[in-house]
Structure 1
Amino acid sequence: MSRGKYFGRIFFVFTMFALLLTGCEEPMSNVLDPQGGAGKEQLALINLSVYIMVFVCVVVFAIYFYVLIRFKQKPGDNTIPEQVEGNMKLELLWIVIPIILLVILAVPTLQTTFSLAEKAPKEQRDDVVKVKVTAHQFWWEFEYPEYGFKTAQELHIPTGKKVFLELQSDDVVHSFWVPSLAGKTDLVPGRINRMKLDADKPGTYKGRCAELCGASHALMNFQVVAEKPSDFDKWVEKRKKPSSEPQTVAQKEGKKVFSQNCMSCHAIDGTNLKVKGDKAPNLTGFGERKKVAGLMENNEENLDQWLKDPQSLKPGTYMPGFSHLSKKDMSSLQEYLRSLE
């Protein structure tokens, strides 16, 4: 097989593989189909960059083929072509044009960058929601300072309103990314970064950490739940006055197991537990969350697997396994956690 055919086949295989990967992202996770204003601003920049690159490629290839044909050596012609070295007009031309193109790209890029990093208004407004985001290895904490509560793994936002985020890290560098709503913003220890996002329509949008941060970086996922303003207000009221007290005997036993094993790290609002941990996700409303640890569907089987051996599911997590619990205690703990609303 000739070398040309060999490299041609390699190129074909990689091209097909790349096209196959373009179908791996689920809906609601597509940068090129933004579902909010911030994503649309960034898509406009992507399109502008593509238009400039296409324009440059067309011009360069047009000149290349023109020169290839126009100045092709003719049979019997051994004369030296006219030399244009030191042509001031040409040199100015290929210096000035790239500068103009860079300015055309730089101005809207800077405008969009400052727009997306805008600070939240100091006063409380009905059309604005403020959230403090803290990244941990390997989970996300969301605090709503105006409402006075914290949650984890699910960021709830109302549609049609601007959501201003303050981003910080508790340990190493992370990166906050919701492909369908906004671009990436780093979370750096000791520093607060800002960004804003919004959603045009209700839905659940995938979020993830986009900066290598440890063994379970690829599993550091979260969800943005966009709801109608009326539904968001109902969710806020439930979080402010959660139903966290056990109602059945099994749930009461589960609460006791939780207090003995979990509350030094986890917090649950709306209970009479005296200690509320802040080292792990707040579990208030856990029963209504869609995912366990941001990984698996929130059901009995997955919760059981997570509680028994979290390291096998999310390597590097600080949560210990509870396989030492009796079957009864494990069942009671799960029932209590699933009852939290």
Structure 2
Amino acid sequence: MRLSDTVTRRRSRAGLGLALTAAVLSLGGCGLAGAQGRVQDGYLPQGATEGAERVRSLWIGSWIAALAVGVLVWGLTAWCVVAYKRKKDDPPLPPQLKYNIPLEILYTVVPIMMIGVLFYYTDRDERELTDTKQTPDVTIQVIGKQWSWDFNYLEGNAHESGTQAQLTGKPGVEETLPSLYVPVGKRIEFQLVANDVIHSFWVPAFLQKLDLIPGRVNTLQVVPTREGTFAGKCAELCGAYHSEMLFNLKVVSQAEYDKHINDLKAQGNEGLLPASVLREPIIEQDKDKLTTGSN
């Protein structure tokens, strides 16, 4: 094969590669333009608390660092494939090297530095998000149970008891779910306890979640920044009807929050529910049913 033919073939392959690259970038640009809002949030739900912005920034920063490393590795890999492609007159094996001290130091030190930086920012943000030293404006005890939620409003001395959601597939199911009310702009402390098994308190718009563990009180503080109704659910597999352990979180004005507390008391929900383990009576009742054969 003549040298000119080899050069022509290489140029053709390079041109094809550039064309494919341009096409991919063009399609990517169209996708980014069509989903600009989602890209800006890192494809996370729009945050509804002060801490959500910290989570979003850490998430996007981690992805930028990961993509930068990926582009570097892919670029070096592609360069090696093109630059060191075997030719007909090359020996069967390339020159063998036992070691390369500078290179080995590079790919040992650089990953350690990267992991150290990621650990620093993750630890910094996690400490801020889990800090509960500040005095809350509102304290709510959240009780997880199979398969619903109870809410004790400690300052208001009122409660709401939820029942398992009935997912019929028809509109209006959200209206039957227990609703947790919190005032906007106030520091809310959730005291999380479980009556039976491990559950997890999760409001996706918070970009945070925390487990409820029997015999232990876990505490979470947030400051809601915008009003609205947000979906809440259990994020820990807790039994047969885990998927139906749902609730609404309503972020409202202070006046509407006070009205809700008064409405609960007017409905007879004054006072607080006990957060004791209720599993044993249920188990004994099921045993009696099995023994007698009753339904």
TM more than 0.5 = yes
Q: Aligned equivalents of 1:111 and 1:164: distance in 2?
A: 21
| TM-score, normalised via structure 1 length | 0.59
Q: Which has the higher helix share?
A: 2
SS of equivalent residue, structure 2 residue 202: strand
Structure 2 segments unaligned to the other structure (5+ residues): 1-42, 162-177, 277-282, 286-295
Return the alpha-carbon distance in structure 2 between the equivalents of residues 177 and 277 of structure 1. 21
Partner of 1:296: none
C-alpha spacing 1:143/1:191, structure 2 compared with 1 (3 Å): same
Distance 1:117 1:193 in 2: 10
**CA–CA distance in structure 1, aligned partners of residues 204 and 262 of structure 2:** 29
- From 209, 214, 227, the counterpart of 1:189: 214
- Partner in structure 1 of residue 99 of structure 2: 86
State yes or no: 1:61 paired with 2:84.
Answer: no
Alignment of 1:190-339 (within 5 A): 190-239=215-264, 242-244=265-267, 268-269=268-269
CA offset digits 1:63-102 (Å, max 9, x no partner): 1011111111122111643434421211111111111221
For residues 199 and 141 of structure 1, the distance between their equivalents in structure 2, rounded to whole angstroms, comes to 20
- Count of residues in correspondence between the two structures: 221
Counterpart Cα distance in 1 of 2:52 and 2:273: 36
What is the CA distance between 1:191 and its match in structure 2? 1.8
Any idea what the Cα deviations from partners look like across 1:294-339, whole Å, max 9, x if unmatched?
xxxxxxxxxxxxxxxxxxxxxx9x9xxxxxxxxxxxxxxxxxxxxx
Paired amino acid for 1:57 = G
Given candidates 203, 213, 218, the residue that maps to 1:178 is 203
In the alignment, the residues of structure 1 paired with residue 261 and residue 86 of structure 2 have an alpha-carbon distance, to the nearest angstrom, of: 77
For 2:71 and 2:206, the matched residues in 1 are separated by 32
For residues 227 and 193 of structure 1, what CA distance do their matches in structure 2 show?
A: 24
> 1:120 and 1:166, CA in 2 relative to 1: closer, same or farther beyond 3 A?
farther
Give the letter aligned to residue 195 of structure 1. L
1:25 aligned partner = none
Superposed displacement of residue 220, structure 1: 0.1
Contact (CA 8 Å) 1:45, 1:109: kept in 2 or not? Answer: yes
Amino acid at match of 1:205: F
2:238 and 2:52 mapped to 1: Cα distance? Answer: 25
- CA deviation after TM superposition for structure 1 residue 218, in Å: 0.3
The match for 1:165 among 190, 210, 218 is 190
Question: Are the counterparts in 2 of residues 38 and 196 from structure 1 also a CA contact under 8 Å?
Answer: no
Greater RCO (Cα-Cα under 8 Å, separation 6 or more): 2
Q: Please, what TM-score do these two structures have when normalized by structure 2? A: 0.68
Name which of 106, 113, 127 aligns with 1:114. 127
User: Of residues 126, 130, 140 in structure 1, which corresponds to 2:149?
Assistant: 140
Report how far residue 230 of structure 1 moved. Answer: 2.5
> Alignment partner for residue 181 of structure 2, among 144, 156, 163?
156
Whole-Å Cα distance in 2 between the matches of residues 224 and 208 of structure 1? 10
**C-alpha separation between the residues in 2 aligned to 1:277 and 1:101?**
49
List structure 1 runs of 4+ shifted beyond 6 angstroms: none
For the Cα contact (< 8 Å) 1:39–1:182, is it kept in 2?
Answer: yes
How well do the aligned residues superpose, as a CA RMSD in angstroms?
2.7
Report the Cα distance in structure 2 between the residues aligned to 1:31 and 1:183, rounded to whole angstroms.
12
Residue of structure 2 in register with 1:40 after alignment: 53
Computing the radius of gyration from Cα coordinates, the structure with the larger value is 2
**How far apart, CA to CA, are the structure 1 residues paired with 2:101 and 2:248?**
57
Structure 2 contact 143–275 (Cα < 8 Å) conserved:
no
**1:161/1:85 Cα in 2 relative to 1: closer, same or farther (>3 Å)?**
farther
Letter in 1 for 2:78: F
The C-alpha deviation readout for 1:147-206, integer Å capped at 9, x for no partner, is 222224221111112212121211111111100123221111122222222322211000
Q: Secondary structure at the match of 2:209?
A: strand
Structure 1: state its 5+ residue gaps.
1-29, 245-267, 281-315, 319-341
**Aligned mates of 2:273, 2:67 — CA distance in 1:** 55
Match of 1:95 among 76, 100, 108: 108
1:47 CA drift (Å) = 0.8
CA distance in 2, matches of 1:270, 1:162: 23
Q: Among the aligned pairs, what percent are the same residue?
A: 28
